[in-house]
Amino acid sequence: MEDVLTTMARQFLPQMTREERSEALLSLKRLIDEEFFALAIAESGDEPARDVACPRCGSDHVVKRGFDARGEQRYLCRRCSRTFTSRTNRVFATTKLDHATWMRFSECHVDALTLRESAERCGVSLKTAFFMRHRVLECIAQSMPAFRSAAGDGMELDECYLAESFKGNRKNAECGIPRKARHRSGPQDWRERICILTGINDAGDIFFEMTGRGNMSEEQAGRFLAGKVASGAIVSTDKAKSYRRALRDLDVRRHEAHASGAHAINRVNGLHSRIKEFVDGFHGVATRRLWNYLAWFKWIWSFKRGRTAAQTAGLIVKQVGSNPYKTTWRNYKRTPYPFYEYWVKQAKWDSRARAALPLAMGAVSKVG
């Protein structure tokens, strides 16, 4: 049987004029978004309150220090000496946007829509959409499941490569840098490709690590696989030498090295296609934001399974509601590029590198 709200809507809508109907439907849409938001937030209230920790430095060495103007308990952090309440650094406590807009934005986030599409759908500016996206990314990253494996588990490992990108620094791009990096035909310098080590286990859980520029070394394999590959695991890789010693040191039960593209490492190869598709969907991602996008991909991969799109969007609202952000907007704009030492070395003899250096160090304040 149909619910009473829908029955009423069916009854009243046909009696309205065209304009009235369109207006009523729009406000219903808004009401639905608001209600979904409220439902998601109500769910996060069911969780036991966590111990109070400083939202800026994470320290739990805090003491009560009076009340703020709204009558909320204020705390003083003994480590960074700043005060906070439960509203400090909370997206929904400080936002000027309404709940319906955040709900709609969460749906865009689940569908990995571009900024332009999200901005249009939510009725906000591109700049606001950019801000919303990165606040959401920072908050939901804190609820990311860790990658685990155990003795006897099967797992596939492989690296994939993404071209280094200074996207967002458009003004500076004009004075030379990414031009050469965007060679469409010629092979790109291998040092300007970022290596991402990826893994997938039998349960379908995945992990990523940005290891650095160019091919992954033995030392990097050892460092990044520690804590992920359990002793006694059964690991398939391609024939790259870098894995051999690392996996032996981690005491895996069996290491199978297959020709690259072989059936046995199909799943990790499939994962790579999905990652590249995801990143390409945004028409390239600045390397200094790449980690956030990989985390976004992993979040969707981990939480969309077994949930409807609406439930997944609700989960985003819930996580954004319960996790504080730390990055100030100013620091956000100044995020340095990872692995920029390469440009420092190159700059001694290469004029293109000299021009790239300020970008690599995040000296440019343009949002991107």
For binding to Zn ion (CB under 5 A), which residues are involved? Answer: 54, 56-57, 59, 77, 79-80
Nearer to Zn ion, 22 or 59 (CB): 59
Shortest Cβ 116–Zn ion spacing (Å):
37
Nearer to Zn ion, 76 or 240 (CB): 76
Nearer to Zn ion, 142 or 311 (CB): 142
Shortest Cβ 79–Zn ion spacing (Å):
5
**CB atoms near residue 203 (< 10 Å):** 11
- Could you tell me if 187 and 301 are in contact, meaning their C-beta atoms sit under 8 angstroms apart? no
Q: Tokens 């409220």 identify what position?
A: 38
Shortest Cβ 357–Zn ion spacing (Å):
33
Shortest Cβ 56–Zn ion spacing (Å):
5
Nearer to Zn ion, 59 or 94 (CB): 59
Shortest Cβ 88–Zn ion spacing (Å):
10
Q: Tokens 């996008």 identify what position?
A: 293
Nearer to Zn ion, 32 or 80 (CB): 80
Q: What are the residues whose beta carbons fall under 8 Å from the beta carbon of 67, sequence distance 6 or more?
A: 73, 74
Compute, in degrees rounded to 10, the torsion defined by CA atoms 147, 333, 211, 136. Answer: 20
First to last CA, the chain: 50
Nearer to Zn ion, 80 or 367 (CB): 80
Distance CA 175, CA 314 (A): 44
Shortest Cβ 84–Zn ion spacing (Å):
8
Nearer to Zn ion, 80 or 163 (CB): 80
Shortest Cβ 87–Zn ion spacing (Å):
16
Distance CA 343, CA 352 (A): 9
Shortest Cβ 136–Zn ion spacing (Å):
23
Of 298, 306, 278, the residue nearest 207 (C-alpha): 298
Nearer to Zn ion, 72 or 251 (CB): 72
Q: Tokens 């709200």 identify what position?
A: 5
- Which helix (H) or strand (E) segment holds residue 358: the answer is helix 351-360
DSSP string covering 98-162: -HHHHHHHHHHHHTT--HHHHHHHHT--HHHHHHHHHHHHHHHGGGPPPP---TT-EEEEEEEEE
What residue type is assigned to position 284 of the chain? G
